[in-house]
Structure formats: structure tokens, C-alpha cells
Amino acid sequence: MIPFFEQIKKTIDKLTKKTGVRLNPYPILYTGLVLLLLSAVFMSHVVWEAISLALFLSPLWLPILLVSAASMLWLILKRSEFIASQKTILLEIKPPRSVVKTPLAMEAFFSGIHLAPGESHWYAINILGKVRPWWSLEIVSLEGKVHFYIWTRVGFRRTIESQLYAQYPGVQVIEAVDYTRTLTATPEEWSIWGCDFTHTDKDPLPIKTYVEYGLDKVQKEPEQVDPLSNLIETMGSLGKGEYLWLQFIIRVHRGEKYHKTKEDGKAYTWKDEAKEMVDKIRADTRDVYIDSATGDERPGFPNPTKGQLDKIAAIERNTAKLAFDVGARGVYLAKPENFDGIMISNLTGIFKTFSSEGWNGFSPTGWMTAFSDYPWEIGVNKLKDEFRRGLISAYRRRQFYYDPFKNHGMVMSTEELATIFHIPSSTTETPSLERIQSATAEPPANLPT
């Protein structure tokens, strides 16, 4: 019986890690055991009848249970084998000294990598375990030095480089050492805090994008306000022995997050959710009136406010663009003597410049946010260390959509992605962001494979 309960404990821990809802398994196990014993003592005939009935019907439910469990494990195995077979690479983006391009250039880059090979038919997905590619967009502070990275499969290196060089001719893209592997990042040696991020509202409602900041048009440098500057300045404020990692793990959106199908059998996507949101806003603008002839209530003529019209326009503009599934994650780690608790607040609020009243935003969730550090939380340090190890492992593996760190994340448009991840203009003059001294004359003629 002991291994059985230990397996239940492991299962609860995994659920806790995935959902961010912290559960102490022992009270649950003990309560269940006590209830089972009480039932066996005071309602023994009912318990044995239930067991007998379950055993009698086992030829019906047991094969279904075994087949479904086996097929699920088979799919996990084949997916894991496929993912492990893919060679990956970390590319660093070195911005030029002068950047006059707007984030629209980065939006064009994201449109160029809106690719989903590998999931062309059911056999490839369910038998071979193939998955469409995902990319990790990373903004990282290494002791105050800010770097931009893109993690990808080796086979997509040429695509990444060609798309970046097409939009930013003066940029340099070089292969980099995986910075996550240069540190042990163990709870025994490091103080670690991290979380995932989720939308504060439904996905179709956009964050405050570069269009709202007027960066869809080239402006004079003194007039430019780049919302990414705040984030870079925060990351540049780190000192010796401090590290802040941000990653956005993206893949082409196909409706998996919603787990719904429409009447025609097609996947329920964020465009369907957007239509429902717009219809609700419009319905809310119609004041009910009484028909003088019949006495019946009838919906009035729509009378939306300017804010409601702006929200409808923003939703429709957002969902008209290409969409990605996005898993956002942040990690702050430092040597215990260098750990600054204020950086936890800075990390959880690092995306404030991309949200405002009436727009979408980002809220921290999961991982270390599950702990409130109340005085009566006794004996949770071991569980915290397990979470920290899982957090570092998930970040290093750039894993978000598949086991053992399966999640659904958010859905964002190319416009939103270009807002939170783009090459900052030269108005961002922080010394923590290293730029190349001179731009190359043109992109390389023969990009390496």
C-alpha cells in the first residue's frame, strides 16, 4: 500500500506544479484512508457490494481504461522521442548602433516564421508523435548585461537568420552558448524565484501594442516612446551575481487551448471567442424598450460608447492577424548574499507598460506564486525546492506545451508579439544593452545551415 500512496503523492505534486495550486498531499491521503476505514466498519455491506459490482462490470470498463491509458502513454513516448531527436541551437541577436525600423519590422519577421510543419496528417501526429516547431524568444540580463536570444531547431536557423536580415540589415545573428547551462542554478547554491504569465482578460482582447504608442510610424527620436525601454532598464539594474531570464515560447495557434469543436467539426479558435466577445459588447449597448402596441420587451438600437467602439475595433484588428500560442515565463536567480526581494515585485510587474485600463495585460501564475509564506505554512521548504528545480528544468528545456511541463498559455497576434519582443530603437540608450559598433554592408550571401 505504501508505494500506492507514494504514487498518489507524486501525481498530486505534478498537478500542483502544472496548475499553480499548491496542495499538501498528506491531509488528502489521510482523510481518504480514514473515510475508507470508517466506511468499511460502519457500512461494510455497502462497500463490499460496490466492490463486487465494480468487479462484475470490469470486463466492460477495464479494457476501455487500459486502452485509453496505453494510447496516452504511447503518444507521450513517441512525442518525447521525436522532441529529443531534434537538435536545437541558441542564436543571439546583436542590434546595430542605429535602428530606425519600427516594431512593424519584427511583426513581419513573426509572420515569416508562422510555420507548422510536422502535423500534416493524423498518422504523423498520433502514431509518429510529430509536433510542430516552437521557438523561444528570450530577453536576458546576465549581471546587468541585456541580451536578446532566439532558441530554435537547427533546421530553422537559416529561416530565422534570413527573416531577421531581411527586416534588420544591420543586425548580427550569431550562435551563442546556452547561458542557462553556465550556472548550476540549484536551490542549494542559488536563491530562485520564478513564475509563468497569463492574460488578465480573454485572449482576443489585445495588450497595449506598439500601435497605441504610435510606433507604427517612424517618428523623430526625441518623440519616440518605446515600451520595451522600461523592461530593459529594469533588467539592466541588476548587479553582480544576479540574473533575470525571460522567455516567450511560441508556436502556431491551432485552437488546442480551447479544447472545443464547432458544429462543423472544426476547432474552436480565438476568432470564435472574439466573435462572442464582440456580440456581447454589442448586445450590452442595446437598451431594452417596451413596444407600445404589443407591450413586449424589444431590444433597442445599438448605442455604443467610444470606449466600446475602440474595444470592438481592437479585438477585430487583433484577431485579423496571424496568431501564436505563447507561454511566458520569468526567472530571477542570484547568490543568496546578492538576492534582492524587490526584484520579485519587479519581475511580476515587468509587463505593466503593455497594459492599461480597458486593455489586456499579464498576470503572474504558477511556480513560486503558489506560496504565500504564511506563518502556519510549516514544512514547505522541501516542496519549494522541488518547484525551483522544476522551474529551472522547464526553462532550460524551453518546454511549455508537452509533458512533463504541459500547459496551454495564451494566444497572441504577431502585433502583440512584436510589441513585447523587438529590437529596440536607438532611443533606448541604456549601456546595459550591448550594440555592435558598425553595421555590415549586407547580409551574408550564403547563410550557414
Which domains, from first to last, does the chain contain? 2-56 (no CATH), 87-254+313-420 (3.40.462)
Is residue 140 within 8 Å of 244, Cβ to Cβ?
yes
Task: Give the count of beta carbons closer than 10 Å to the beta carbon of residue 264.
Answer: 5
Q: Does an H or E element contain 142, and which?
A: strand 135-142
* Cα Rg of the chain, angstroms: 26
Long-range interactions of 124-129: CB distance < 8 A, separation 24+: 126/75, 127/78, 128/78, 128/82, 129/75, 129/77, 129/78, 129/79, 129/80, 129/81, 129/82
- For residue 14, the model assigns a pLDDT of 54
**Tens-digit pLDDT string for the chain (449 aa):** 344 444 555 555 555 544 444 455 556 666 777 877 777 777 777 777 888 888 888 888 888 888 888 888 888 888 889 999 999 999 999 988 777 788 999 999 999 999 988 887 888 888 888 999 999 999 999 999 999 999 999 999 999 999 999 999 889 999 999 999 999 999 999 999 999 999 999 999 999 999 988 888 766 655 577 889 899 999 999 999 999 999 999 999 988 888 788 878 788 889 999 999 999 888 888 776 676 677 676 666 677 888 889 899 999 999 999 999 999 999 999 999 999 999 999 999 999 999 888 899 999 999 999 888 777 777 788 889 999 999 999 999 999 999 888 888 899 999 999 999 999 877 676 767 877 765 554 555 666 65
Q: Which residues have a Cβ under 8 Å from the Cβ of 144 and sit 6 or more positions away?
A: 235, 236, 237, 238, 239, 242, 432
- For residue 225, the model assigns a pLDDT of 78
- For residue 222, the model assigns a pLDDT of 54
- For residue 15, the model assigns a pLDDT of 53
3-state DSSP of 348-375: HCCCHHHCCCCCCCEEEECHHHHCCCCC
C-alpha neighbours within 13 Å on the C-beta side of residue 244: 27
DSSP state of 138: E
Tell me the residue type at 249: I
Q: Which residues of 340-353 are buried (b: 16+ CB within 10 A; e: fewer)?
A: eeebbebbbebbeb
Distance CA 11, CA 26 (A): 12
- For residue 6, the model assigns a pLDDT of 47
Q: Is the entire prediction scored with pTM above 0.75?
A: yes
